[in-house]
Amino acid sequence: MRDLKLEDKQLKLGNTSFNKESLQGLTETQFKKRYKGIINIDLDVAWKKIKGYTKKSK
Amino acid sequence: MKCTCLTGFGNTGLPNCVSAFDVTKQLIFVPYFKEDGTINGIDLTGLEGLDQAFIDSKIKALLPDDRWYITPEIKNITDERAEDVTEEFEDTTSVFIQEGARTFTGIVVGAPPQFKAELDKIRCVKGGYYVVDKSGNLIGDNSREGFLDPIRIQDQSLSVGFIKGTDTTIQKVSISFTVSMTMDDANISMIESSKITGTLLGAMGLLSVYKESDSSISTAGFTVTLGANYGGVLSKTKAKGLELADFTAFNTTQSSAETLASVTETSDGVYAFVYDSAVTAADLITVSNRASGDLTKGYDIVPFTILTP
């Protein structure tokens, strides 16, 4: 298996680059509490995208 | 060169077409030795040319000892050997003892004092340099078979000065150094620009990035402002566009890697870091460049620390 480049291990949403592995197991409440006031896109929109990603990668 | 008893005359023919070096436009300073002690040269084995990937892998190399430190354009260059050293006798004849030292001087127009600080660091290691000439040729030392090595700089000879502007002149940074006496001009050779498909002439070196300030430090994360050491003290050049993949965090207190969950650029050069798991109070976190790959953003992050309250 090829070694993933660091860029492949992150997910970019708005002004934030997330560690894909850190998103696994994160609940909506934890996400919104953690990123309130930090990311520059609506938290609900961001969560939907992240949920979509984490579902796909399971 | 040194004469031996076996040295005969050299043949004096020249081919119809001889490649000529053009005027120097940029220098590429290189640590002369790699970490393993070998010369930090270009291995010519199987090399067909220098493409963009090759050039990026050098200019943006993660490891400082592997990196090419390319300067902006240099003007008013002198690159000459001093008079030969000879011994003269009473009958007024003389014999050749050795060549004079080759000295390079030039100026970087408009460069600020902070640029001098970066160049001064080159004096701290055993260094060499390649030349990029006006035609885009890469010039170095071909004395080692199968390699184009950097031309060795005489240790401790580099001198960098900041020259203030006047009513009639612009500020500039001057560079001068002596070429090592182990270098023989006869070995100077080049990779011709026709073999260089990437952009070398006009390429830019990396910018050192420093932590200007920090805030909102907690066990969950922190915010830092990152900038290059250029600009006014109240308006430093910001390091924009960095992402999670550009950073590595290490928990110095716990002696373990610290996984980052995210990095957010909240405004130009201002980054909010979130840890994957909360750290412990009093933990000292060291943040530095990415763990692998090239420094593709053009920034070299000078490691900085965050002390968790």
> Among all residues of chain A, which has the CA nearest to that of B268?
A15
How far apart, in Å, are the Cα atoms of B205 and each of B57, B67, B119, B288?
12, 10, 12, 19
Of A5, A35, A40, the CB nearest to B293: A5
Backbone angles phi, psi at B38, to 5 degrees: -85, 160
Q: How far apart are CA B95 and CA B72, in angstroms?
A: 42
- Which contacts qualify for A52-55: CB closer than 8 Å, 24 or more apart? A53/A11, A53/A20, A53/A23, A54/A23, A54/A24, A54/A26
pLDDT for B208-255, tens place per residue? 999 999 999 999 999 999 999 899 988 999 999 999 999 999 999 999
Strand partners, B109: B172
Written as six digits, the tokens of B208 are 């050192």
- pTM, entire model: 0.89
Pick the CATH number of B207-307 from 1.20.140.90, 2.60.40.1220, 3.30.200.20, 3.40.50.720: 2.60.40.1220
Q: What is the pLDDT along chain B (309 residues), one digit of tens a residue?
A: 777 888 788 888 888 887 889 999 999 999 999 888 899 999 999 999 999 999 999 999 999 999 999 999 999 999 999 999 999 999 999 999 999 999 999 999 999 999 999 999 999 999 999 999 999 999 999 999 999 999 999 999 999 999 999 999 999 999 999 999 999 999 999 999 999 999 999 999 999 999 999 999 999 999 999 999 899 988 999 999 999 999 999 999 999 999 999 999 999 999 999 999 999 999 999 999 999 999 999 999 999 999 999
pLDDT of residue B189: 96
Written as six digits, the tokens of B196 are 């260089």
**Is B161 in contact with B174 (CB distance < 8 Å)?**
yes
User: What is the domain partition of chain B in residue ranges?
Assistant: 24-88+96-195, 207-307
- Give me the DSSP letters along B82-94: PPPEEEE-TTS-E
Of B264, B290, B291, the CB nearest to A16: B264
CB contact under 8 A, B274 and A38: yes
ipTM for the predicted complex comes to 0.88
pLDDT of residue A57: 63
Helices then strands (H, E): number in chain A?
3, 2
Written as six digits, the tokens of B24 are 């120097």
